[in-house]
Chain A
């Protein structure tokens, strides 16, 4: 089976996963938002003084918690774009290799967000402590994969540039 045919077969599945991921992220934000609003309402009814800043903090922490999932979802988007290029037969275009780089970057960002940005900003929003790193296996593996993909895409880009030069020379031989 050709690369284009394989990509044609795989792309709808990746796109479906992307749509599913978007729906899950949005629904999680919505559900947490509703739960947060209900909690704030209960606190207000109990007589607690809730400033605008407290409500804003609650909203920001919802977005913050969803940030890694959003970054990971963007990796799926780039992956399905990459498969789309393969489907169109753009296997040897340098811009196709850039999409692998984008997948790698998205994975790396997910890792950085999970490891340091979300825990640290979470602390800031709660007004506790200056800095935190959540050293867990999943973000470390995602980061490793992301960095590996970035390096692979650089290699692929260099190979494609060399292939393009060779093709150009080959085309000048009759």
Chain B
């Protein structure tokens, strides 16, 4: 998988804890942790929208495509 999740970076930049973000956007800490470590198969637009709204950023700030061979 060549998609890198930059959620940790955005959380650090906004000085926000993952626990608080999870509470704000209404998903479990466990699911947010899975998302931060890119151990999920997908992200709902609804979740992406809530994260972007909360962290005041763009989807591209959270996800990065790196062109690497599998």
Contacts and interface: CB of A to CB of B under 8 A. Distances in A.
Contacts of A172: 40-42
Nearest to B48: A174
B62 interface: no
Contacts of B18: none
Nearest to B33: A174
Interface of B is mostly: mixed
Nearest to A168: B41
Interface residues of B, number: 11
Residue with the highest number of chain B CB atoms closer than 10 Å, among A169, A172, A173, A174: A174
B27 to A, nearest CB: 6
A174 B31 CA distance: 6
B43 interface: yes
B47 interface: yes
A128 B45 CA distance: 77
19 contacts: A169-B41, A172-B40, A172-B41, A172-B42, A173-B40, A173-B41, A173-B42, A173-B43, A173-B44, A174-B27, A174-B31, A174-B32, A174-B34, A174-B35, A174-B40, A174-B42, A174-B43, A174-B44, A174-B47
Interface of A: 169, 172-174
